[in-house]
Amino acid sequence: MIDRQIPQERLDFLWLLAYTAALVFILRLVNLQVLGGAHYREIAEKNRTQIIAQAAPRGRIFSSDEVALVTSKPSFSLIYFPGQAKTVPEIDRMAKALARPLGADYEDLRKNIYKAASREKPVRLAENLPPKIMLALSELKAIYPGVDVIVEARRYYPFGPYLSHLVGYIGKMDPKEWASRARDKNYSMDSRLGKAGLEQMYEKELKGKDGGIYLEVDSRGKLNRVLESRKWIPGADIFLTIDSKAQAAAEEGLQKSISGKGAVVALDPRTGAVLAFVSMPDYDPNMFVLSGSEKEGLAAGKILPEFNVALQGSYPPGSIFKIITGAAILESGRVRPDEKFHCPGWYDAGSRVFKCWEKKGHGDVAFIEGLAKSCDVYFYNASQRAGALAIEKQARAFRLGQISGIPLSGEKPGNVFGPSLRAAKKSYWFIGDTLNQAIGQGETLMTPMQAAGEIAAVANGGIFHRPYYVDRIVRSDGQMILPPRKPETLSRVQLKEGTWALIREGLRSVVQEGTGQAGKIAGAEIYGKTGTAQNPQGKDHAWFVAYATINNEPSKIAVAVLVEHGEHGASAAVPIAKAVIEAALRAELPSGAKPAPEPALPQGQKLLLPPATQARGVL
The CATH number of whichever domain residue 192 belongs to comes to 3.90.1310.10
pTM of the model: 0.81
CA dihedral 416, 422, 423, 425 (to 10 degrees): 110
Which ranges of the chain have pLDDT less than 50?
A: 1-2, 43, 46-47, 219-221, 292-293, 301, 604-619
Taking the C-alpha atoms of residue 256 and residue 518, their distance in angstroms, rounded to an integer, is 17
Q: What is the pLDDT of residues 533-550, one digit of tens each?
A: 988 888 999 999 999 999
Taking the C-alpha atoms of residue 92 and residue 106, their distance in angstroms, rounded to an integer, is 9
What pLDDT score was predicted for residue 223?
57
Does 460 share its domain with 320?
yes
Exposed e or buried b per residue across 275-293, where buried means at least 16 C-beta atoms within 10 angstroms of its C-beta: bbbbbbbbbbbbbbbbeee
Q: Is 150 inside a domain boundary?
A: yes
Does 257 share its domain with 208?
no
Does 251 share its domain with 326?
yes
- Written as one letter, the residue type at 260 is G
Taking the C-alpha atoms of residue 205 and residue 618, their distance in angstroms, rounded to an integer, is 17
- Written as one letter, the residue type at 554 is P
Residues 6 or more apart whose CB falls under 8 angstroms from that of 246 comprise 266, 275, 276, 557, 580, 583, 584, 596
CATH number for position 258: 3.40.710.10
Q: Is 424 inside a domain boundary?
A: yes
What pLDDT score was predicted for residue 1?
45
Which of the listed residues 224, 240, 256 is the one where a domain comes to its end? Answer: 240
Name the DSSP letter for residue 496.
Answer: -
What pLDDT score was predicted for residue 17?
79
Does 453 share its domain with 543?
yes
Does 217 share its domain with 232?
yes
Q: Is 443 inside a domain boundary?
A: yes
Which of the listed residues 219, 240, 261 is the one where a domain comes to its end? Answer: 240
Structural domain of residue 268, as residue ranges?
Answer: 244-290+302-471+488-584
Q: How many domains does the chain have?
A: 2
Main-chain dihedrals φ then ψ at residue 521, nearest 5 degrees:
-135, 125
Does 229 share its domain with 373?
no
Does 464 share its domain with 526?
yes
Q: Is 330 inside a domain boundary?
A: yes
Full DSSP string of 178-213: HHHHTT-TT--TT-EEE-SHHHHHTHHHH--B-EEE
What pLDDT score was predicted for residue 606?
45
Residues 6 or more apart whose CB falls under 8 angstroms from that of 244 comprise 63, 64, 65, 67, 69, 598, 599
Does 263 share its domain with 207?
no
Q: Is 156 inside a domain boundary?
A: yes
Does 277 share its domain with 217?
no
- Written as one letter, the residue type at 597 is P
Taking the C-alpha atoms of residue 119 and residue 123, their distance in angstroms, rounded to an integer, is 10
Does 434 share its domain with 536?
yes
Does 188 share its domain with 266?
no
Taking the C-alpha atoms of residue 489 and residue 271, their distance in angstroms, rounded to an integer, is 9
Task: Give CA 233 to chain center in angstroms.
Answer: 24
* Burial zone of 168 (CB within 10 Å; 0-12 exposed, 13-18 middle, 19+ buried): buried
Q: Is 477 inside a domain boundary?
A: no
Task: Tabulate helix, strand, coil % of the chain (nearest 5).
Answer: 35, 20, 40
Full DSSP string of 560-588: EEEETT---IIIIIHHHHHHHHHHHTTTT
Q: Is 415 inside a domain boundary?
A: yes
CA dihedral 99, 105, 106, 107 (to 10 degrees): -150
Does 276 share its domain with 388?
yes
Segment (H or E) for 367 = helix 367-372
Among 618, 415, 469, 459, smallest CA distance to 549 is for 459
Taking the C-alpha atoms of residue 587 and residue 596, their distance in angstroms, rounded to an integer, is 10
What pLDDT score was predicted for residue 72?
87
Paired with 529 in beta bridges are 545
CA distance readout (Å), 62 to 66, 264, 406, 474, 610: 5, 20, 19, 11, 11
Q: Is 53 inside a domain boundary?
A: yes
Among 20, 260, 53, smallest CA distance to 161 is for 260
Task: Quickly count: other Cβ atoms within 10 Å of residue 177's Cβ.
Answer: 15
Name the DSSP letter for residue 297.
Answer: T
